[in-house]
Structure formats: structure tokens, C-alpha cells
């Protein structure tokens, strides 16, 4: 019979990696909590309209990458391609702005984009997403960026490059868009069909085009930073000065526009040289008009998302990440097996990891299993040791062995494991 495999671009997270995921999640929760962020969990599916209205109808995500289908009652639903829209929907729906002026939220979970799979790019991937509502001052931009860099660093990443830009606001961006349209029209016939279409539909999206010929043209396009109004310019220069105060180094990349339409003012990306082509480990920015565009109050917002798989891929390989067993019980013979079964489960109940071999194989085979399970100690006994009320405890690393009285064995073993 044919094997059924996972869907292309959807991948299993195997136990060794799953462990890394929860270790990083643990760090994320601790860091975000210390900056005042609380966790929210939203559904992985939303009404399609939510993403069209927030991410933008003419973005790659909405045009080409969403998993959208008609539900049985013909309502269009979409597997979320990102978390910002869902978090905002929940923020509005639960009237969170009434509670407090500033709301800080984070969420961790799977996102879905039908992109071409390659190293670091999947169709189901996980994001660690952070959103801050109700504060427009540059301090909140710097706080968010500082927290992101701190989180990535203590998770174990190095050689990170932070790029920032300002994307302006409704007051100044239209003049930039006009200048870009004018510029692109001058080279229209040399652009790829997608970019030609983008000139009128969404000119800023040409900055994301991966076609080489387009890249060469766009290199000479006008720069957003030359078009900022005084409010945006002021904001951007304060963000830079605050980042300097926090010793957070950055480069300004005036070509960075981000792949989603909702950004205003500050935008940022974190790149690493450990990932190959898919080098963005995180991205985010300010979105001051989005909450109201989605039917909520006039509340500014800023946030970012970290690509969880990309973060994990950047971590150095570590032996200490291997799964460990505290104790393996090598029980030889029926009586020993029965006693070992009780002891194994008692230990587990006390919070220690314990394993045994129900197959009652040879001592050599059982010690091999203990090694495979990376166990710190192995307790060895057969019927003879039970009669003599003495069992053997082997330290699997040093290979030292000691006898331990059977009376009070559970307490004795726990003591030894704890002292290790
Ligand atoms: P984004 O830049 O589209 O932003 O995605 C953020 C991060 O998710 C990327 O930097 C990357 O690490 C990861 N990522 C994106 N697509 C894939 C993929 N196909 N496979 C693996 N990893 C991927 C957002 O999603 C915004 N919602 C971020 C944000 C939050 N802006 C404001 N608040």
C-alpha cells in the first residue's frame, strides 16, 4: 500500500526539536511577562474578510498565499497567515481598550501561507507574535524593538542584524507613492508583469519583488525617508536615539517596506546570516490606522512576529538538549519485573523520569537500552538480589556501581538522583 506522507510544506516537529520549541517558549513567556505582556490565544481560522482588510488585497499573502475555502454554509474562511489581524479582532471584540489605555499581548502558534517551500520557508510555520496597543510615543517603538533583540539574544542567537525604516503615515506616504509611480512608469516595459500591475494597484509592493531585473531598477527609486512629514521624521529620529540609549545597534534600510500593507511609521526586521536565503528571523512595525480600519477605536499599535522555526534553526546544536532519563531499571526475572514495574511508576509519580524493559531481556541488552535512553543511573536486580535485599545502582557516566538496600529503595534513589 502507498504510504501517506505529510502535506508539502507542512512538517512534523520531532521530539528533539519540540523540546527546543518549549524551551524557547518558556524564555519568551518570561521575557514578555517582565515587559508587561500577557498571553492571548486566538483561533487558527478567521473569516477571510479579516485578512483581506488588514494585510491588504494586493499583497502577495492575500493574492496568492492564503488557504481559503468556503465552509458548508458558503462562508469564506481562511487559515490565519499571520497573527496581528486575529489579535486585533479579539482586542476589538472583547473591548480591551476600555480596560486600560495600554494593552500588551502576545501569542504563539501556527500560521499558514501557501508559499513555495524551501529551507526556512514552510506552508505551516509557527510565530511568536507580540502586539502593543494604545501608545504612539517613540518609547514604545524602542521598548518593543529592545525586547525583541533581548529575547532573541537570550534564546541563544547571535550575529543578528536589526534593520529599521519609517514607512510614513497617511499624511506623507501618498506623495512618496506618487513619486514611486512616476519613477516606475519611466521603466515600465523593463519590469516583470507583476510589478507592472503593481504600479497602479500598490506601488510600494515593487520593493519586495525578487526578480533581478526589477531589483536593478528599484535600486534607483525614490527613498521614503526623503518624503517623511515632520511628525514622522521626528518620531523616527527619536526611535533611533532611544535605541542608541539602550545600546541596541541597528542599520537604516530605506528600501524595507515589509510584505503587509498595514504599517505606518516605524518598520523593522531582524536578519541573521545563519539561514541562507530566508534570512529574516523576525519582522514588525507600527500600524496606527489598523485597529480603526477593522472597526475598532482610534488606537495606535505596534508589534512584531518571530519565525519560530527560523529561530530554532539558528540555535547552535547542543548535546545538553538530548532527552534524559533519570533512572533505568534493569529487572531480570519475573519477581524483579513485578517490583520494577511498581518502582518505575512510583518514581514517575514523584516527578522523575524512569524507564524499564518489559521484555525482560538479557542484562547486556537492558544496559544498551539504558544508554539509548540517556539514563543517568541504572538500577540492576534479579530474583537473587531481591532475596538478599540488596540491589545494584550503576552510574551510567562514571560506570561506578554501588549496592543499595532494598528497604527504603525509593527514598534512597531519589536522594542519589537529587545529589547528582
Ligand atoms: P512577517 O514578516 O510576514 O510579519 O512574518 C514574521 C516572521 O515570520 C518572518 O520574519 C519569518 O521569520 C516568519 N515567517 C514568515 N513566513 C514564513 C514561512 N513561510 N515559513 C517560515 N517562517 C516564516 C508578520 O507576520 C507580521 N504579522 C508581524 C507583525 C506583528 N507586525 C506587527 N505585529
In ligand 1, the atom with minimum distance to the C-alpha of 83 is 27
Which residue has the CA at smallest separation from atom 20 of ligand 1? Answer: 121
Q: What is the pLDDT of residue 130?
A: 98
pLDDT tens sequence across 329-356: 999 999 999 999 999 999 999 999 999 9
More confident residue, 133 or 212: 133
In ligand 1, the atom with minimum distance to the C-alpha of 280 is 10
Classify domain 324-415 by CATH number.
3.40.50.800
DSSP bridge partners of 97: none
Q: What is the pLDDT of residue 99?
A: 79
Give the three-state DSSP class for 282.
strand
Residue spans of the domains in the chain: they are 15-172+228-314, 324-415
Averaged pLDDT for residues 366-370: 96
CA 127–ligand 1 middle distance (angstroms): 7
Asked whether the predicted pLDDT for residue 319 surpasses 70, the reply is no
pLDDT tens sequence across 72-101: 999 999 999 999 999 999 999 999 999 789
Q: Residue 376 phi/psi, 5° resolution? A: -75, -40
Averaged pLDDT for residues 15-32: 94
pTM of the model: 0.91
In ligand 1, the atom with minimum distance to the C-alpha of 258 is 2
Q: What is the pLDDT of residue 320?
A: 53
Asked whether the predicted pLDDT for residue 322 surpasses 70, the reply is no
In ligand 1, the atom with minimum distance to the C-alpha of 113 is 19
Asked whether the predicted pLDDT for residue 64 surpasses 80, the reply is yes
Determine which helix (DSSP H) or strand (DSSP E) holds 309, and give its type and residue range.
Answer: helix 308-314
Give the three-state DSSP class for 290.
helix
**Ligand 1 pocket residue status of 56, Cβ below 6 Å:** no
- The domain over range 15-172+228-314 is classified in CATH as 3.40.50.920: no
Pairing mode of beta strands 124-133, 251-252: unpaired
CA distance 409 to 177: 76
pLDDT tens sequence across 230-282: 999 999 999 999 999 999 999 999 999 999 999 999 999 999 988 888 899 99
Asked whether the predicted pLDDT for residue 297 surpasses 60, the reply is yes
- Based on the number of CB atoms within 10 Å of its own CB, is 225 exposed (0-12), middle (13-18) or buried (19 or more)? middle
**Ligand 1 pocket residue status of 11, Cβ below 6 Å:** no
**Ligand 1 pocket residue status of 60, Cβ below 6 Å:** no
Q: Which residue shows C-alpha cell 535485599?
A: 389
**Residue 260: CA count within 13 A, CB half-sphere:** 25
Amino acid at each position: 500500500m502507498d504510504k501517506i506522507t505529510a502535506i508539502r510544506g507542512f512538517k512534523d516537529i520531532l521530539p528533539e526539536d519540540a523540546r527546543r520549541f518549549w524551551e524557547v517558549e518558556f524564555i519568551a513567556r518570561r521575557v514578555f511577562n517582565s515587559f508587561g505582556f500577557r498571553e492571548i490565544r486566538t483561533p487558527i481560522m478567521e473569516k477571510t474578510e479579516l485578512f483581506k482588510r488588514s494585510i491588504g488585497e494586493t499583497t502577495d499573502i492575500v493574492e496568492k498565499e492564503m488557504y481559503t475555502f468556503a465552509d458548508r454554509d458558503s462562508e469564506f474562511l481562511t487559515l490565519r497567515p499571520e497573527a496581528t489581524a486575529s489579535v486585533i479582532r479579539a482586542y476589538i471584540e472583547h473591548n480591551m481598550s476600555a480596560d486600560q489605555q495600554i494593552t500588551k499581548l502576545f501569542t504563539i502558534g501556527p500560521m499558514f501561507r501557501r508559499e513555495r517551500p524551501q529551507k526556512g520557508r514552510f506552508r505551516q510555520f509557527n510565530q511568536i507574535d507580540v502586539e502593543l496597543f494604545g501608545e504612539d510615543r517613540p518609547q514604545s517603538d524602542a521598548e518593543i524593538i529592545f525586547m525583541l533583540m533581548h529575547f532573541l539574544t537570550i534564546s541563544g542567537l547571535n550575529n543578528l542584524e536589526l534593520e529599521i525604516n519609517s514607512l510614513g503615515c497617511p499624511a506623507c506616504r501618498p506623495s512618496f507613492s506618487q513619486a514611486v509611480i512616476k519613477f516606475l512608469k519611466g521603466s515600465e516595459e523593463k519590469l516583470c508583469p507583476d510589478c507592472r500591475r503593481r504600479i497602479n494597484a500598490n506601488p510600494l509592493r515593487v520593493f519586495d519583488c525578487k526578480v533581478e531585473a526589477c531589483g536593478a531598477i528599484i535600486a534607483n527609486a525614490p527613498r521614503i525617508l526623503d518624503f517623511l512629514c515632520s511628525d514622522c521624521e521626528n518620531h523616527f529620529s527619536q526611535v533611533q536615539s532611544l535605541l542608541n540609549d539602550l545600546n541596541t545597534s541597528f542599520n537604516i534600510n530605506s528600501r524595507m517596506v515589509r510584505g503587509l500593507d498595514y504599517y505606518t511609521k516605524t518598520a523593522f526586521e531582524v536578519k541573521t546570516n545563519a539561514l541562507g536565503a530566508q534570512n529574516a528571523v523576525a519582522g514588525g512595525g507600527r500600524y496606527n490606522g489598523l485597529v480603526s480600519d477593522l472597526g475598532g477605536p482610534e488606537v495606535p499599535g505596534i508589534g512584531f512576529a518571530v519565525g519560530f522555526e527560523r529561530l530554532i534553526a539558528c540555535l547552535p546544536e547542543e548535546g545538553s538538549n538530548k532527552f534524559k532519563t533519570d533512572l533505568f531499571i534493569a529487572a531480570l526475572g519475573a519477581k524483579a519485573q513485578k517490583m520494577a514495574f511498581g518502582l518505575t511508576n512510583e518514581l514517575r509519580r514523584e516527578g522523575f523520569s524512569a524507564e524499564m524493559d518489559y521484555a525482560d531481556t538479557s542484562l547486556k541488552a537492558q544496559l544498551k537500552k539504558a544508554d539509548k535512553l540517556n539514563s543517568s543511573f541504572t538500577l540492576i536486580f534479579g530474583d537473587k538480589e531481591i532475596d538478599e535485599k540488596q540491589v545494584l545502582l550503576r552510574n551510567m557516566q562514571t560506570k561506578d556501581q554501588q549496592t543499595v538496600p532494598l528497604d527504603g529503595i525509593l527514598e534512597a534513589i531519589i536522594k542519589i538522583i537529587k545529589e547528582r
